Amino acid sequence: MENVADYKEIVEVIQDSGGDAFKRCFQCGLCDAVCPWNRVRDFSMRKIVRQATFGMTDIESEDIWLCTTCGRCPQQCPRDVKQIDSGVALRRIATEYGVFPTSVKPIRTISGSLIGEGNPLSEERKNRGAWAQGLGVNAYSEGTEYLYFPGCYLAYDPRLKKVAEATAKILNAAGVDYGILGDKENCCGESIRKTGDEELFKRLARENIKAFIDNGVKKILVSSPHCYHTFKNEYPDFAVNFEVVHISQLISEFIAEGRLSFSGDFAKKVAYHDPCYLGRHNGVYDEPRSVLDSVPGLSRQELPDSRKASLCCGGGGGRIWMETPKGERFSDLRLQQALDLDADVLATACPYCIANFQDSKITLEAEEAIEIKDITEIVAEAL
Ligand code: SF4
Ligand code: SF4
């Protein structure tokens, strides 16, 4: 094993990142028992924690890049070892040394695009608000109730723009006072932070916070659980506190108040997948289900491995940008679970999940068998 970073540095970097709890590990192995990687290949978070404890981490190994930060093992750990913090700390060392295994190399292009254009998709900043043209979406101005922050994938990705369009249709139907900042906003920075690039995260966050403050933003409505997580739980470290709402929460509230009602239906069997960063990391399990249960004609099914035990799609922790070989993609397992239920639709509430499930439809040759939808697309269809 080549040990590029010395013991002192590894331990110090982990401690600086709040990951010093790894020393509490007593090697029980519960983390490995629940980790989704062990459904597709060998992987041991227990071993990573053990090696870091002794400063024996091989930062050139692909293993330190595998964790999707799904949150399953921290939930199980009897010693509160905070595996995600420790794992991200190891990636910070590798990032500082510029050591990226082949499957992780796309991160370099992603970082360049985030620095230059504020998004990971190599798209131009000036087009960030273009999705909203012709949809009755206003530019945000001071005094508007909600800033709608669609996030990078809904702003640029052709498949995911449909989710932003559905969201605008719902907000307009409910008479919500909202607007967008378009090219004034950046990526939230959540995923690049999980790849260990703390400096770039801070830069993106500071620029966003400045844009929010300059424009008088108080409430932020988001579509991505990753934006939700970072605005709600990480931006307060910069001494700001915005009210952050996920679209599933707002729609659920509007339906309960009678502010949103349906004139159509959606007569299909729908299995709901809990995104890790909405469910496990932030406790939002009921609202997306109550939204789906309100849609006329819809029959909702529970997947195995749901709610707290949800099976990760594989896209968190920056893995959305890394190569995962066929046969090792969790999203294939998840899609198969939905197919086994004979669901017509696999619904979720996260752009990474949708992107991964769309790919899995091709891998599993299930393009005619099932649809992948965001809950907003289902609601918008039934309005
Ligand atoms: S669950 Fe916690 S204590 Fe047990 S091996 Fe994993 S990190 Fe160590
Ligand atoms: S957070 Fe999830 S992917 Fe990462 S090691 Fe734990 S169980 Fe595995």
Query: 146: part of which helix (H) or strand (E)?
Result: strand 146-149
Atom of ligand 2 nearest to the CA of 72: 7
Domain with CATH 1.10.1060 in the chain: 7-103
CATH of domain 7-103: 1.10.1060
pLDDT cut 90: percent of the chain above it: 86
Residue 279 alpha carbon to ligand 2 centre in Å: 15
Among 346, 218, 234, smallest CA distance to 281 is for 234
Alpha-carbon gap, residue 86 to 52, rounded angstroms: 8
- Write the residue with the smallest CA distance to atom 7 of ligand 2: 35
Q: Tell me, what's the pLDDT at 89? A: 87
Decide if 128 contacts 183 (C-beta within 8 A). Answer: yes
First to last CA, the chain: 59
Structure tokens at 270: 């729908």
Three-class secondary structure of residue 229 per DSSP: helix
Q: Is the pLDDT of residue 14 over 80?
A: no
Q: What is the pLDDT of residues 231-274, one digit of tens each?
A: 999 999 999 999 999 999 999 999 999 999 999 999 999 999 99
Alpha-carbon gap, residue 150 to 229, rounded angstroms: 14
Unique residue bearing structure tokens 């990142």: 17
Ligand 2 contacts CB of residue 34 (under 6 A): yes
Among 311, 36, 315, 307, smallest CA distance to 153 is for 315
Alpha-carbon gap, residue 214 to 210, rounded angstroms: 6
Among 258, 243, 294, smallest CA distance to 173 is for 258
Please check whether the domain covering 115-251 is classified as CATH 3.30.460: no
Please check whether the domain covering 262-382 is classified as CATH 3.30.70.100: no
Domain with CATH 3.40.50.10700 in the chain: 262-382
Longest dimension (CA), the chain: 64
Q: What is the pTM (predicted TM-score) of this model? A: 0.96
Ligand 1 contacts CB of residue 72 (under 6 A): no
